[in-house]
A = this chain, B = another copy of it.
């Protein structure tokens, strides 16, 4: 088994708040993460892809192609945005790191499959201490 990992970064605002809860309940459960005026992060994204070596190139897939895909489909729409307000993918959703990681998986999976490879893991670091890894719906 051979996998390849590409790192990208984006800076965004967000907050954690369940719309079915009162402000007090949100504050109790999410603490400062529910600050109504938002906070933000330098998100660090690691996308891992599994595949076979193409004997002509020595590549699983072209890392430049993967970087460009991530820039077009994830970094450009997420970077310097408010994930809750500006990014349609999160309309009506909680914007936890878990859900952002799953959403990134859903955004890029088909493009990677179309290249003959398989999306293996989406890892998203919210801070240097906190990370989420999504390994897809079938594992």
Contacts and interface: CB of A to CB of B under 8 A. Distances in A.
A13 B40 contact: yes
Contacts of A30: 57
Given A35-B86, A37-B81, A80-B32, A58 B3 contact: no
Chain A binding surface, main DSSP class: mixed
Nearest to A12: B39
B135 A33 contact: no
A56 B18 contact: yes
B6 A129 contact: yes
A85 interface: yes
Contact of A132 (B4, B35, B39): B4
Contacts of A4: 98, 130-133
